[in-house]
Structure 1
Amino acid sequence: MSSMKYSYSLWSPFDTVKDVAESLGVANLSDEAAKVLAMDIEYRINEVLEQATTFMRHSKRTRLTAADISSALRVLNVEPLYGYDSSRPLRFREAILGPGQTLYYIDDDEVDFEKIINMPLPKVPREVSFTAHWLAIEGVQPAIPQNPLPPEGRTSLTNSSGAASTEVEVKPLVKHALSKELQLYFERVTSVLTEETSDASMINAVLTSLGNDPGLHQLLPYFIQFVAEKVRLNLKNATMLYLMLQVLHRLLTNPTIFIEPYIHSVMPPILTLLVGKRIGTTQAANEEHYEVRDFAASLLQKVCTQYGDAYHTLKPRVTRTLLKAFMDPGKSAGTQYGALCGLKSIGPEVVRVLVLSNLKDWASVISSASSASTEDKNRLRKAVLDALRSLVDSELATIDEVSEDHKEKFKQYVGPIVSELVLAADDSDAIIKAVVSDPFD
């Protein structure tokens, strides 16, 4: 039999392995099998030691303990060792069994049973229990039993007989502290934004402060509530609505404000000004309400771009709301214009999947509506072109003229009304190519 060169730094295949085999009733274990078993034993021990060393390093220790070995055995699906306490160092003793045969064992402490029996019993531990509650949210304590009651004057305490003994004044542990400076700042800013006597320089100074000054995070919920209230009460004042959108824009762009937890409060005023039925009342405000809707669409795009990944339901919910307003023929032209601009601001994929598939029917309904003015219809045509242009790839902007076959397919897909509108545009070839390349090619 050819000799096999193996490294047996821990186990001897001819002594240890064969002795264990004989103790298990295997009398005739071949040398080859003993060598293979010795190699496997050495590999398994190295594997256990590597895992145990990992536990030791993660525990920020430099000494390997019996607990590390037990944890390594559990990871390797091996029953751990029992009876080894790592809280005290192990003492090994040496016993000579014969010439060249040394046995090491752990020296166990001698225990006096009489002393242990006479020792008092330890105290019964308390049952394990746990609970969780909010101590304070945004500086305000929730009204739950775990928190102290709010102060209601002075509370009297009674003794066991029911007689009043002392009076204790209960004070809340946490207060929503708003410094005097912040209160004055908020009052000054809101007064400048709402008073008719405020000039443009004062308003610009306030907006610049909201967009750049640090330390305004505590006032953030108050400003958002202020904007929502002013939007609700001034739907007929397009100038005030545009100013409130400017406030939201400055709060969203302030690098020192963490506005992400308040996105759910920011969205209602934006959507209201995007798809509101009527914004402004006078004829002069007709142009202004389209500017308000355009500004609201730009803010919606900013919110969806920055926080769409953090709030996974944000884009789907906004898309459903806008699509419902866009496809409702009973909505005003301003509402449908805002819905179309909002869908475009969410992304080209929304335009391709939702707007294009409904554009043919929508255009026929809008063209036959007698309530929409010529200005409103022109605005809607511009919004449709802008939405379709969002599908154009910049690399395809200089493509050659599209074929008549592509133009016919485009007309069948979007309808004659939209097709005629696109063909009259200067960049009609790029728009047609962008639309028909995906559904038809």
Structure 2
Amino acid sequence: MPAPQMMGIYPSDSISEVAHSLPIDPLGPGAADLLAGDVEYRLHLILQEAKKFMIHGKRATLLPEDVEYAMEALNVEPVLVPPRPLPIPSFQPVSVSSTSSSSHQAQQVYHTPDDEIDFAAYLKQPLPAGIASSAGVKWKAHWLAVEGVQPAIPENPAPGTSRAGPSRPQPASTSLRPQARAQLPQELQLYFTRLTTALVPPTPSAPETEPERHRLAALVSLRTDVAVAGILIYVIKWLSESIQKCLMAPTGTIGQLVDAVDAVLENEGLFVEPYMHQLLPPLLSIILTVPLGPHPPSSSSSSQPSPYDVRQRAAEVLGKIAEQYGKSYPGLIPRLVSTLTKALQSPPFPSPLGAAHPPAGRYEGAVLGLAALGSQAVKSGVWGKAGEGLSKIDELAGRLYIDGGKRKNPLIRATIKALSPLITAKPADVQAPQINMNEVTNAFGPYIANGLVKKGWTANELLRLRKEEMEEGEGGGEGMDMDTPRI
């Protein structure tokens, strides 16, 4: 009966040659094929283990050290036999005069001499046989630069490929990587390309135009199509990279990317939960990053949404994430509240653009983010203890806005809007009460009082809430003193 044919890469002839070189009995029929299959299996096992060390080392090249570590992990003793004796380096002594005053003898230092290679003579030598027999291989010299100017020749890259100075940030590439091309069918690759291209038009698009209709259709596809699940991991990665690269792009582009994130969250056929760690940092970057948008603003910025509106939109999406996954992850909302509260309580820093006053966008975004996370987040991060947080925000507004005065600045506007869940709604049949502006100013500060001039019900409710909390604090202190002797 003939030996079974083993399908593999490792040749059985190598096994036969090794067997002949060793003092063992001749191999039987088919033994070399079986041993070759076993050797190939063990090589696969070692290489798979070595690849793990390569990945943990964050490298794309497999090194001999990875193979050594893999064999050590698999408890395999490596047998290293060099093909030939390694050449022994020749050391040459160099006499060095002694610096010691007691000894005048010269000392010798040994070193390995470096061979000097004449480049002209090296080029005249014949090429190796393998290279000389191939077609089109030859030496050729060309100028990299002439007096600091790169000549426009085919050997040098085109001058327009890399420009010096700041350039306009663009969304991440809409093309898939080679690994994704190998894993995804051609239909999903085309779907990903068309979808990402339509979500962010190359130029600002007005309503009722063809690019805007394509963008709305792409948002509907993200919001309703189940086929997005096949490319979800690539869409999430594209959104994350695009937002990070477009923080100084036109605010309309940032808003379009936020709309795409919102559409992904609204799709009930997608399992987005494993990718929350990739969506939260870009949203927080939009909310807290300063400056946001192009600087200096271009002439077309008047038709773009303001940074305040973009931060408010990102805060709404952040609140939607907290609402959907806050119960599944009890630590999600507290960590978000802690991050936003630290940003709100951080001291003002100088403007990175050289402006006369510190940037206020971070504090506006922190208040908007806390408002989107719910009433408890507003009470702990914005209101504080008996309204102390409002006094700090009022003091902060005086430092951030030079022309604040009696004008309502965005920080005060966001703060008053965030406090609405803490107060009861005004009944329809009740008239707005009179406001004691001096009391409001003494309690919260002049900027908060200016923002509450036309909101009598809100001002009185905030004063009532502050008074109740102060009375509860005083009552709690008395109760503590009375209970202390019992303990």
TM-score by length of 2: 0.52
Residues 368-379 of structure 1 aligned to structure 2 (within 5 Å): 368-369=399-400, 378-379=409-410
Deviation at 1:212, TM superposition (A): 0.5
* Residue identity in the other structure for 2:397: I
1:242 aligns with 2:255: yes
How many aligned positions are there? Answer: 286
The aligned counterpart of 2:391 is 360
Superposed CA offset, 1:102-137 (max 9, x none): xxxxxxxxxxxxxxxxxxxxxxxxxxxxxxxxxxxx
1:259 is matched with 272
Mapping 1:79-118, distance limit 5 Å: none
Could you tell me which residue of structure 2 aligns to residue 81 of structure 1? none
How far did residue 432 of structure 1 move?
A: 2.6
Alignment pair present for 1:414 and 2:441: no
Question: How large is the Cα RMSD of the aligned pairs?
Answer: 3.6
Amino acid at match of 2:360: A
Aligned to 1:218: 230
Quickly say closer, same or farther: Cα 1:420–1:376, change in 2 above 3 A: closer
The gaps in structure 2 that reach 5 residues or longer are 1-7, 20-31, 49-179, 204-209, 350-358, 472-487
Q: Is 1:273 equivalent to 2:286 in the alignment?
A: yes
Is the Cα–Cα contact under 8 Å of residues 432 and 457 in structure 2 kept in the other structure? Answer: no
Secondary structure, aligned partner of 1:255: coil
In our comparison, the structure showing a higher alpha carbon Rg is: 1
> CA separation in 2, counterparts of 1:438 and 1:307?
34
User: Contact between 2:291 and 2:361, CA under 8 Å: does it hold in 1?
Assistant: yes
Distance 1:231 1:370 in 2: 28
1:274–1:293 CA contact under 8 A, matched in 2: yes
Shift in Å, 1:215:
2.5
1:146-161 correspondence runs (5 A): 154=9
Match of 1:347 among 374, 391, 415: 374
Q: Secondary structure at the match of 1:423?
A: coil
- Map 1:196-235 onto structure 2 (within 5 A): 196=202, 199-235=211-247
Cα shift at 1:160: 10
Identity, % of aligned positions = 26
Q: Residues 397 and 388 from structure 1, CA distance in 2 versus in 1: closer, same or farther, beyond 3 angstroms?
A: farther
Within 5 A, what are the aligned runs for 1:393-412?
A: 393-394=424-425, 411-412=441-442
Distance 1:392 1:345 in 2: 16
Residue 93 of structure 1 corresponds to none
Q: Which amino acid aligns with 2:336?
A: V
In structure 2, do the counterparts of structure 1 residues 196 and 372 end up closer, same or farther at CA, with 3 Å as the change threshold? farther
Cα distance between partner residues in 2 of 1:410 and 1:350: 23
Look up the match of 1:432: 462
Gaps of at least 5 residues in structure 1 are 1-152
Distance 1:206 1:403, change over 3 A: closer
CA gap of 1:317–1:394, structure 2 versus 1, over 3 A, is same
| Distance in 2 (alpha carbons) for counterparts of 1:397 and 1:304 | 32
Question: Partner of 2:452: helix, strand, or coil?
Answer: helix
| AA partner of residue 190 (structure 1) | T
CA distance in 1, matches of 2:257, 2:267: 16
TM-score, scaled relative to structure 1 = 0.56
**Residues 130-149 of structure 1: matches in 2 within 5 Å?**
none
For residues 417 and 376 of structure 1, do their structure 2 counterparts lie closer, same or farther at Cα, with a shift above 3 Å needed?
A: closer
Alpha-carbon separation, structure 2, partners of 1:248 and 1:328: 29
